Every structure is written in C-alpha cells, then in structure tokens.
Amino acid sequence: MTQRLEKVTDTFANTIRYIIRHLTGCTDSHADEKVGYTSDERQWQNYKVVICPSGFFDDGTYGTAQSLPTLPLKSIDGTPVIYGDDTITRQGDTLIVKADIIASAYFMMARYEEYADTSDEKRDCHGRFIGKESLAYKAGFLDRPIVEEYGRLLRKWLREAGEQIDEPRAEISHCYITHDLDMPLYSKTMRGVIGAARRGNAIEGIRNFMAATEKNKYFTFPMLKGECDKLRNAHEGKVSEIVFVKSTVNGNIEKEDLPTYNLQDRHIKEVIEYLKDNGFEIGLHTSYYSGKHPHNAHEEASKLRLETGLDVTKNRYHYLRTLRPQDYQSLVDAGITDDFTLGYADVAGFRTGTCRKYRWINPENGEVAQNLWIHPMIMMDCTVGDKKYMALSENEGLDTVKKLIDQTRQHNGEATILFHNNVFCDGSYDYEKLYKGIIAELRK
C-alpha cells in the first residue's frame, strides 16, 4: 500500500488489499500491487487498473440499510456486479473501472448481507439465513462463483493494461469429502432399541444391537472410504476425508443435539479407532447448543482433543447453524483453524461466491482473521434430496452438483461435499447412487 485510501479506515484498507490478492490469485507475482482502489484521480497513474470505490466502505454507509444492494443488478461481461456500475474508461495507460468488484466480493465473502440484514423472515426456525432469501439466489447467480468471475475479469484487465498474469489451471485444487457424525451407530443402546421398536423396527433394532460394530447399519465408512480411495488414486495428495464428531459437554445440549453419544462408550471408541486407522481426519461437529452459546465451543473442542488424542483443528457446525461473528470468534478462541460450515441448508451453490479457501472476514469490524480459514461447501446430501429443500431426484441432483463441480474446476477451486454416514440407510432416496456419481465426477 503506497497510498492511503480516502474515507476508508486502515482496517478496511488491509482487507481491501487481501481481497485484491484473493481476486488476482497472486502468490508469487506482485500484480495485485498494480490494482488501485481510489477515486482520487491524482493517484490513478500509479496503477494499471483502478477500481473506483462505490462508497460501500464509507463511514455512515457501511453497516446501514442503505448499504444493501437492490435488484436488478448491473453486469459487466455477463457477470453481475453488486456495487458500482458497468463503465470502463482509460486514462493514459490505466484502466478505470466503475464496477466495484472489491465491495461486491467483500459482500459475498464476509457474508455481509447476513450480518447487515437482520430481518427474521430471512431466517428459518434454526436462525439460519435462508439460501432462497439471499441476493445470490434472487439475482440468479448462486450456482456461479461470482467472486472467481471478478478475479478472471480483473486478470483480463491487468493483461489488457500490459501486466503479465496467468490464469489458474482448470483443475480442482483439493477435494474435501466430509461426513457429519450425527448418528454413528443404529440401535446400539437400550434406548436405541426401544426407539426402533416404537417405530415398528424391533427386529432390526435388536439385530443391530447384538451385531458387531462394523456390521451396524450406520457403519457405512468402508463404502465411503472405498469411493474416496478411488478419488485419491486419481488425484494423489489432493483429497481429504473428514468426519466431524460431536463432543457435547454434559447438560449443554438442545433438543436438536439429540441423540448425543458418549465418546468413552466402547462402540463409539471402535468407530473412532476405525476412522483413525483408515485415513479419515477427525474434526469437531460443534453442537446446536454452542450455536446459541458460543463460549461452549471451546469446551467441546478440548473434550474431543482429550478423548481422541488428536490435535483437532477443523470444524463444522451441527445444522450448519447461525454463523454470526461471535460464533466464528469462538472457533478462533477454541483453536480451530479451518471451518467447513458455509453452505446453505436449503439450496446448493456458492454461498460465499468463491470456491477457494479464504481467511474469515469479520463483517462487524472488517478485519481479516489471520488464523481461521473458511472452506466453502458446495452441497449437502439432504439439501439436494430432501422434500423440504431442493427435492431433486437422484439424476437431477447429480446433474446439479456436476454443474457446481464444473464451475469449481474452471476456477481451480476446492470441492467440499457433505454426506452423513447414516443417510444411505434410511428412506427411499438412493444417496449411495448420488454419492458415487459425485465421486466419479470429481475423479475426472
């Protein structure tokens, strides 16, 4: 940063530089330094490309209702822009761009609308922001990672201004195949057997109760791992399989956390040992309770580390719950370095507008957290198949996810998908077909 940004605080100035680096994808080149963000015409000559601030970050605008965009959006080269307009002019050797792709990218990555728009009707009964209420869905671009499109535009403008900057390789940079361990085993306690009997499944309940852990109906890990191993063979070193484990602390639960399980139970220990011995990573599945009481995440993380003997640093919230700034701050305080929660429950797509990992941006103060990575998730099993969400057939669901994977591949992104271990056994939907279809697509 050579110039001070007018009307913008130092915190925002740092965040703006971070966003420009994310957009250009610069790791070893310094092309990002050739991008300015100022309306001070005297400074334009210092840059190859200048993005003109739309006023979004100004005191008196940021955080207010007037900072929220209205539809319809303008677009530039077919990409919707959330702030600014669609004109590009030239002054000397410098391109002057009025499309404020910096504020637009910030809006998506910091989940600004979820922070600034507090209206209840945009949240469901669990306090989760509803995907179909998001700007991205309403403007029709939730299935496109528009932050990546901004990056592609910015690199194109830099090249037009004579700067050398390459496009990223069109391949998936990393696959995160993830599973939330809501129900590790079926009917493995007396309570479970009684529950099965009440639902008319007494014989199945007793059979699972008596059988060895690895014969349990919900012990689908060999199938999950088998598919994941095929993916590993195709993309060595670029595949992680993570199981997020509940670690509830006595009494600190909500009804949505039921059934809880005891990490010291013999059968649960067998599951955890199997996972550890077979290449699965263990992450924390933070409880619904912690979603209401953020300080509790620290205790859950400590307990999971103690019980597993592992340095647990990855997280996903049960129910993909709330995700307010204080929730993320509680993850930082709990020693979590990587969060995998950010996808909508009700509709698959690019909730953050980007398909690459990035450092959490706190919309409350605009700060970039140095020690918490966000890994956006493109789909969850029930989002695609459940009647109350997208309600797609197996084939329609696979087609939808294939398109998201293709977008991810085009932009050298990460593909994070979520399948629960128990989803393959209940109901009439063939989630195994969907899972195997997605893995086959990722192997390409």
| Interacting residue ranges for Zn ion, rule: CB under 5 A | 180, 182, 318
Q: How far is CA 32 from CA 7, 20, 169, in A?
A: 21, 6, 19
Q: How far is CA 291 from CA 78, 122, 216, 402, in A?
A: 38, 18, 30, 31
Q: How far is the CB of 285 from Zn ion (least distance, A)?
A: 6
Of 173 and 178, which CB lies nearer to Zn ion in the complex structure?
Answer: 178
Q: How far is the CB of 299 from Zn ion (least distance, A)?
A: 18
Of 34 and 318, which CB lies nearer to Zn ion in the complex structure?
Answer: 318
Q: How far is CA 328 from CA 170, 190, 203, in A?
A: 31, 37, 44
Task: Find out whether 397 and 419 touch, Cβ atoms under 8 Å.
Answer: no
Of 100 and 182, which CB lies nearer to Zn ion in the complex structure?
Answer: 182
Q: How far is the CB of 321 from Zn ion (least distance, A)?
A: 9
Of 141 and 429, which CB lies nearer to Zn ion in the complex structure?
Answer: 429
Q: For strands 79-81 and 74-76, give the pairing.
A: antiparallel
**Cα separation, 124 vs 105, whole angstroms:** 25
Question: Among candidates 33, 63, 38, 68, which has minimal Cα distance to 53?
Answer: 38
Q: Where are the alpha helices (DSSP H) in 311-362?
A: 325-333
Of 38 and 315, which CB lies nearer to Zn ion in the complex structure?
Answer: 315
Q: How far is the CB of 319 from Zn ion (least distance, A)?
A: 6
Q: How far is CA 253 from CA 265, 299, 319, in A?
A: 18, 13, 13
Strands (E), 223-264: 239-245
Cβ-based neighbour number of residue 311 at 10 Å: 9
Q: How far is the CB of 27 from Zn ion (least distance, A)?
A: 34
Of 61 and 260, which CB lies nearer to Zn ion in the complex structure?
Answer: 260
Q: How far is the CB of 320 from Zn ion (least distance, A)?
A: 8
Question: Among candidates 391, 419, 404, 416, which has minimal Cα distance to 349?
Answer: 404
Q: How far is the CB of 259 from Zn ion (least distance, A)?
A: 11
Task: Find out whether 221 and 420 touch, Cβ atoms under 8 Å.
Answer: no
Question: Among candidates 133, 51, 156, which has minimal Cα distance to 100?
Answer: 51
Of 32 and 338, which CB lies nearer to Zn ion in the complex structure?
Answer: 338
Q: How far is the CB of 289 from Zn ion (least distance, A)?
A: 12
Of 378 and 382, which CB lies nearer to Zn ion in the complex structure?
Answer: 382
Task: Find out whether 170 and 148 touch, Cβ atoms under 8 Å.
Answer: no
Q: Write the CB contacts of 305 (distance below 8 Å, at least 6 apart in sequence).
A: 311, 312
Q: How far is the CB of 184 from Zn ion (least distance, A)?
A: 12
Phi, psi values for residue 203, rounded to 5°: -65, -45
Of 45 and 260, which CB lies nearer to Zn ion in the complex structure?
Answer: 260
Q: Among all residues, whose Cβ is closest to Zn ion?
A: 318
